[in-house]
Structures are given as structure tokens and as C-alpha cells.
Chain A
Amino acid sequence: MSETVGNGTAEVKMEGISKNFGAVKALDDVTITLHRGEVLGIVGDNGAGKSTLIKILSGVFQPDKGEIYFEGNKVTFHSPIEARKIGIETIYQDLALIDDLSVYHNIFLAKEEFLHATPVVRFLNNKKMETSAGHFLQDLKVNVPEIDAKARVLSGGQRQAIAIARSVFFSAKVLIMDEPTAALGVVETKRVLDLIEELKKRGDVSIIIIAHNLAHVIAVVDRIVILTRGRVLAERKTKETSVDDLTEIISKGAEGIAA
């Protein structure tokens, strides 16, 4: 086993995970570890099993075989709600924000702050939400036109950044990002990667990034796991590898299994 990254403690360990859909083996005895404070990239072609793996971690699917450990304890999720409750958040790209609400209402949606005036009829503390959302986004160096602007006017990268910031604000411990930079332009991609970089500096959240574009994620991930046809093909620390290396591993691996 290679030496640890992050601070060395396993935040999440998925061990011996297998999942079949009918006759299709989507995952076959996959084991991955996410260390605390680490950014882990999971790459692979379409059909490699990336999405199935993270859907198991986020509670959407249940594995046929294998175990999930969260901070050392064995956990089972029957729904995404259960996973979110213990701090595993998934950033959904299309579903993330409410177009007709302001940025700060989006951040505080379903976790609103109230004025203390009355216990029965509660009024929103819009001012407080606006201020703390503003400060928080500033801390994370996330730029938005106006904190009270409707989400509709935001760019793709801004939306993604705010969805990520929202999870972190409410103390998610593990963030799962499925193709966070897909469909984003260069500037917008940088916006999202900068935010991930910022979160890494703070070190209180561990991140899994699913991607098939290596060039984008290699800049921010600490370690890369390569999946091919439902198996872990290789695992590399970013410092010790390059895009060319990884591309070669992927193409060779695909041939090897096909042969």
C-alpha cells in the first residue's frame, strides 16, 4: 500500500464493492480509500464504473457485496438522505440551484435563519443570511455579481462554486463532485478549480472528483484512481505521475482486459 496523503486518517473506505445490473458487472471487488483532507480523483472511460461507485457512496445504490467505512465505522445507506445526514454531500450539476431565488436564499435554502421574535410565526432573518453568505463566499474567494442577485443570472462556474460552497458552509465532511467542470469554459473551470484549491488549504473537507478529463483535474487532485470495466486498474499520486503516464495506463489497461 502506498503511503498516505492528507493527514493519514481514512475518512472513507469502500472495501470489496461489487454491483451488478442484471448480467452487467458494473463494479467488481473495488476498494478505495479517501483520506481526511485529501482530494481524490476517480477517472476512467464511460462504463468504467465511476458513477456507480459514487452513487453507492452517496446512498443512491446499495452494493451487492462489500462494505463502506466512514471515519472508521461501518455504515450502510438506504437513501441519499442518510448519507447526507452523516456529512457525505453530492454536488449535482443541473439540480444544484434555484433560478428564481437569490444567491443567499439558495445557500440557506431549507436551513434558513429566523428572527427570534415569535416561536409560532417565524420571520426569516434575511439580513443575517445575506451577510453571512456574503462573508463566507468572500472567505472562499467565490465571486458573484451580487449576493442578492437571482441565481438565474449566474454563470455555470459561479453556480457550481455556489453549490459547492453551500455544502461546505453546512459542514459537509465529504464532497462528491461528478464531473464538476464538464460543460464549463476555461475561465469557468478555473473558477471551480480555484475553489477546490481553497478548500484543500482549509483541510476540513475531503473531496472525491469524478472526471474523464484528466487535464482538468490533475491540477487539484492529490491522488488518482483509475477504473476500467468495474475494476481498479491503477492508483497514482499526482506528484509522481503525469497526464501522459495516466493516458498510457488507461489505454494499455483497456487493451489488456479486452485481450
Chain B
Amino acid sequence: MREGAVVMVTVVMFAVFTSLNSGFFTIANSKTLADFVVGNVAVAAAQVMLMIVGEIDLSVGQVYALAPYLMYMVYQQSLPEKHGLGFTVAIPAAILAAALVGFINGVVTVRLRVPSLITTLGMDYFLGGFIIYISHGEYQIMPKQEPYTALFGGGVISGIELTYVWTAGALILLAIVLARMRHGIWSIATGSNLFGSREVGVGIHRTKIMNFVLASVIAGIWGIFIANRAYTFGAQGVADPTLGGDTLTLESVAAAVIGGTSLLGGSGTVIGALAGSLLIAVLQDGLILVGATAYIYQTLLGAAIILSMALNITARKWARR
């Protein structure tokens, strides 16, 4: 099991940071770590699904930023007090917009045969500019309309943020899809052997497009969750056009790769995405606690990405013997 190595490295780092700083292994800090993981792990897991089919999505971070902002804008046009709608249409509209982005990414990649690296890099720039254009770069206070606000990131149930519940649910669901549903088997087949899969009748295009849509929709929904998060501790949520962005995109790719997912397609696990995301969180948080600078974090994360990819490829080679 390739994720085993990542889990071990994470445990070792946990031990190191705990010995360096007594504040690391505490309940308060576990919450910090979990908050970080919850922000990106679902997107990382969706990125894994894309990498399994041999594709990548570099625009997830912008969708993560766009969806809450669109939600805010649609809300302003359909105020509940005026039109009786508000989030009733604003949330479906934002999620639909995210799905559309994923669909375009998928169709351009699959039908026009533009490598997804390029398709989604273009989409990343396009959306990045578009968000600044519609928002003038300014954040807006996210309106509150129950039960939507609570359901979409602002709610707490017996001390646990609902977002945690949704995140756990999403990870379990994706793991089930991979192991127990046709889409999972088809995803692995498509990424492992594209032409062989087509030959026996696997819908390779449909499978890829579905995973692009999935990645975008998850990015959009979790963007909304995080935008509403401040409501969980009594502050106001914000639709922030600079939320997510390329940082989130790269974190999702890094978590997937560190978790043993191969860019070559055919393999990858949800557990891996979780382990990768946790490792990034431990690294970032641990270094802050021991007083290291942000540059050290970046440097170490960079090394971790390259190292894990190298291990991954070597492991594949050995498995082939």
C-alpha cells in the first residue's frame, strides 16, 4: 500500500513537532489542523479522481473562489424579502455554474484533444480574471438565509461544524464510488489503458467528463462552505474573490501526489488524498509553531512533492517486475 509511506511520514512529523513544541499535540491545535484539512481535502480527493483517468484540473481553486461570489450576486438579484428566493436559486445557480466550468474543461479536453494541463490552465486564468472583473477585487459580506447558511458551511451540530460532516461524507462517497461503482472501475480502466478500455466498450469520454464535472462541483460547494464558515463562530461569512485560487489548486495537486496518486493515470485513493492533505497541514502548522518562516514551509513542501512522486514511480516499476 503506497499510502502507508505517507501515513508513516506524517506520524514521524507529528512526533518531531510534538517534541519540538508542547503546543503541537493539543486539542486546540488538532482543531487548527482539521480546519486546514477540511478546506481542501474534498477538492484533493476530486483531483485524485481526475488523476486516475489521467487528467488534471488546475482551475479548481478559481471555481472555489467563483462559486460563493456568484452565489452572493444571484442572491442580490433574487432577494428573499423581495422575490422570496435568495439562496433557493442562488445556491443551485452557483453549483450549476461550477458544473458548467467542469463540463467545458472536460469537453475541450476530450473532444478537442487539448491536454487537460492546458485546458484547465487556460480556464484558471480565464476565471481568475473574470472573478476580479465581476467583483472589482472586493469581498462582500455573505448574506444569511436559513436553513441554507447553516447547511452550506455556517452550521454547527453538537459542537461539530457541519462542513466536517459533509467532508467526511464526501470522502466516504468517493471511496465507495471507486471500489463499488461502475464509474470507479471505468475511471481506473480509462486511466490505466485508454485504448484497451475503449475497445471493450468503456465510455472513456463520458468517464473523463464526469470527473471534470465532479472536481468543479466539489470545488464550488466547498468554496461556499468555507465562505460561510465564519458564521460558525458568530462572525459574518464573506464572498472573497481571493479565496482559494492557485494556492488551493496547488494544494489539491500536492495532496493527491503526496498521497500516492500517479499523474500517469490508473491509480489513486481517497485515503491517499486525506493523508497528503494531512501531511501538508502538519508541515505548515508545525513549522509555524516552531517559529520557522513561511519560506521554509514552501521549500519543504516542494521537496516532499518531488520525493513522493519519485517514490511513487519507483514503486510502480518494482510492482511491474
Contacts and interface: CB of A to CB of B under 8 A. Distances in A.
Interface of A: 80, 92, 95-101, 105, 109-112, 114, 121-124, 126, 152, 166
Interface string B171-189: 0000000001110011011
A101 B180 contact: no
B266 A100 contact: yes
Interface in B196-225: 196-197, 199-202
A100 B193 CA distance: 9
A100 B181 contact: no
Given A109-B185, A122-B182, A152-B319, A98 B192 contact: yes
Nearest to A109: B200
A166 B199 CA distance: 13
Contact size range, B: 20 to 34
A97 B200 CA distance: 10
A99 B266 contact: yes
Contact of A98 (B182, B196, B201, B319): B196
A28 B182 CA distance: 46
Given A98-B189, A100-B267, 14 more contacts: A80-B199, A95-B193, A95-B195, A95-B199, A98-B193, A99-B192, A99-B193, A101-B192, A110-B197, A112-B182, A123-B180, A124-B181, A124-B182, A124-B185
B318 to A, nearest CB: 11
Given A95-B196, A95-B199, A109-B197, A124 B189 contact: no
A243 B202 CA distance: 42
20 contacts: A92-B196, A92-B199, A96-B196, A97-B193, A98-B189, A98-B192, A98-B193, A98-B197, A99-B193, A100-B193, A100-B267, A101-B188, A101-B189, A109-B200, A109-B201, A110-B186, A110-B201, A112-B182, A122-B181, A124-B185
A109 B190 CA distance: 11
Nearest to A153: B319
Interface string B125-157: 000000000000000000000000000000000
B201 A100 contact: no
| Across the A-B interface, the 3 shortest Cβ-Cβ residue pairs | A110-B201, A100-B192, A100-B266
B320 interface: yes
B320 A109 contact: no
A101 B185 contact: yes
Nearest to A111: B201
A120 to B, nearest CB: 12
| A100, A114, A126: residue with the most chain B Cβ atoms closer than 10 Å | A100
Contacts of A112: 182, 185
A111 B319 CA distance: 28
Contacts of B180: 123-124, 126
B183 to A, nearest CB: 10
| A95, A121, A122: residue with the most chain B Cβ atoms closer than 10 Å | A95
Contacts of B185: 101, 105, 109, 112, 124
Nearest to B176: A123
A48 to B, nearest CB: 26
A95 B185 CA distance: 17
A152 B199 contact: no
A100 B188 contact: yes
Contacts of A98: 188-189, 192-193, 196-197, 266
| A110, A112, A123, A126: residue with the most chain B Cβ atoms closer than 10 Å | A110
A92 B188 CA distance: 20
A109 B188 CA distance: 11
| A98, A121, A152, A166: residue with the most chain B Cβ atoms closer than 10 Å | A98
A161 to B, nearest CB: 16
Contacts of B191: 100
Contact of B196 (A80, A97, A105): A97
A115 to B, nearest CB: 9
Nearest to A80: B199
Nearest to B184: A124
Interface string B276-292: 00000000000000000
Nearest to A110: B201
A237 B184 CA distance: 48
| B191, B200, B202: residue with the most chain A Cβ atoms closer than 10 Å | B200
Contacts of B186: 110
A101 B266 CA distance: 9
A109 B185 CA distance: 8
Contacts of B189: 98, 100-101, 105, 109
Contacts of A105: 185, 189
A118 to B, nearest CB: 11
A126 B178 CA distance: 12
A19 B117 CA distance: 42
A122 B181 CA distance: 7
Interface in B228-273: 266-267
A124 B176 CA distance: 10
A114 B196 CA distance: 22
B129 to A, nearest CB: 38
Nearest to B190: A98
A112 B192 CA distance: 18
A57 to B, nearest CB: 16
A150 B189 CA distance: 12
Nearest to B321: A153
A92 B192 CA distance: 16
Contacts of B195: 95
